[in-house]
Amino acid sequence: MKNEDYQVSQEEIAQFKGRGYNEDMLPKTLEKRNMGVKNYFTLWMGSVHNIPNYTAVGGFLFLGLSPINVMFALVISALVVALFMTMNGRAGSKYGIPFALHLRATYGDIGAKLPGFLRGCVAAIAWFGLQNYTGSLALLVLIGKVWPGFLALGGDASFFGIGIPGLIAFTLFWALNVLIGIGGGDMLNKFTAILSPLIYIVFGGMAIWALRVAGGIGPILNFDTTGATQAMNPVFAYFMIINSVLAVWAAPGASVSDFTQNAKSTRDQTVGQMASLLVAYVIFAFSSVAILIGGSIHYGIQEWNVLNIVDRWDSFPAIIVAMTVFLLTTISTNATGNIIPAAYQLCALFPKKMTYKKGVILAGLISFVIMPWKLMENADSIFIFLNSIGAVLGPVAGVMIAHYFFIRKQTIDLNALYIDPKADNSKNIYRGINRQAYIATIIALIVSLSGQFIPAMQAISNVSWLVGFGCAFAIYLGLKKLGSAGKTEEAFD
């Protein structure tokens, strides 16, 4: 099949460099597009099989759906996420551009700064620190299993609220995450290629263990969750699960061009991501439900924290292996969802001074300095803050997809997109702020958050990402249709 993606020339690259863009912001040439179907197939595996996702499934089992329906809902969610990721990644794979430039193509060069900063800097760096701290807690338990005396190091001494063993575990885990981030896409490809088979082996083995101790698949599928909601409409429960899964992918989905820019072709990223997410979630849907319910049956208590189930095992080697894989999936999630987008966004904000590797180091240092263990002391406020930023990304994604597919018809003018600061840009279609995009985003954000403030609209809070995405998509297309009547295409401002 012929590759119809845009092939940027060396002459264009040289021209864009002359305009002040660094190497990391330039469109990827054919020889630098090194991610094929296999790379995308392994890319997101670790982001599916991680501790927070297993915990979320425990919550889904309380919605009143049967275990088999929870599994089906997760698989449907995977299909929706795969469509979202591949569609929003088409601009990156067709033109070889990163998220920062994809965002500019939608919101304008000035308009892209705020959503880009919120996604790539504030949310990504804060989440990078928090996930490092969460992962370090698991590492602390793991080290304690192997070396019990480690947990007593330093006695009662502490560093700004964290004990010496905790600080050492955090620093080690933080450093490993930063190193993976510095390695970029090439390092991540190698890392996920090793991790993916481990995930199949470990989580497949855990599911087999669960089936054995539960007495087969029947008791698991017939399990009645104590305290589950019985009055909820099953269709709405499905939508709640789909929305929750989409919300997990809101950030990487918005900035997926940071990964699809390296695709050998749009076909490769489409086939690879679709297969990756569908296969990963089919396995995850069965293994997560089986492990959580099987463990609960076996230990005689409803236990929805998978780490607590693992910690109860009699086999010390099995505990070590399982905990290690959970740590590796946290690293994979942190790299794809946080540190890589943060580094690219810093490059976009400071194109003349910042490179990708410098961005990783700076983002990593900031994530350490903010002392995420202190943020976790007031978990409610920090998660409300970060969830509010995440809520913006549903409307942002809705506008991005509407703009690229229905307004620009999958066409981007690279010469105009890489704005020449010395030229007359009064007619440049990417200059300024796309006010209609901002209006649609803000209105959709208000609607999606309305359930948190208006009791009568509380149900919206349970499907806020879907509502925000859908509203932004429809409002933006409506505004564009009204605003384009009798007008020629011109700059945003």
- Maximum distance among all alpha carbons in the chain? 76
Contact residues for 136 (Cβ-Cβ < 8 A; gap 6+): 166, 169, 170, 172, 173, 174
pLDDT exceeds cutoff 60 at 381: no
Residues listed for the chain = 493
Q: At 450, phi and psi to the nearest 5? A: -60, -30
Structure confidence at residue 389 (pLDDT):
67
| 349, 350, 352, 353: CA torsion to nearest 10 | -160
pLDDT band at 383 (very low <50, low <70, confident <90, very high): low
Q: Which domains, from first to last, does the chain contain?
A: 30-378 (1.10.4160.10)
pLDDT exceeds cutoff 60 at 399: yes
Q: Which two tokens stand for residue 379?
A: 């978990």
pLDDT band at 2 (very low <50, low <70, confident <90, very high): low
Per residue in 43-99, pLDDT tens?
Answer: 888 889 877 788 889 889 888 889 999 999 999 999 999 999 999 999 999 999 999
pLDDT band at 403 (very low <50, low <70, confident <90, very high): very high
pLDDT exceeds cutoff 90 at 137: no
Mean pLDDT of 422-428: 91
Q: What pairs with residue 163 in β-bridges?
A: 158
Query: Angle CA(412)–CA(416)–CA(417) in degrees, nearest 5?
Result: 60
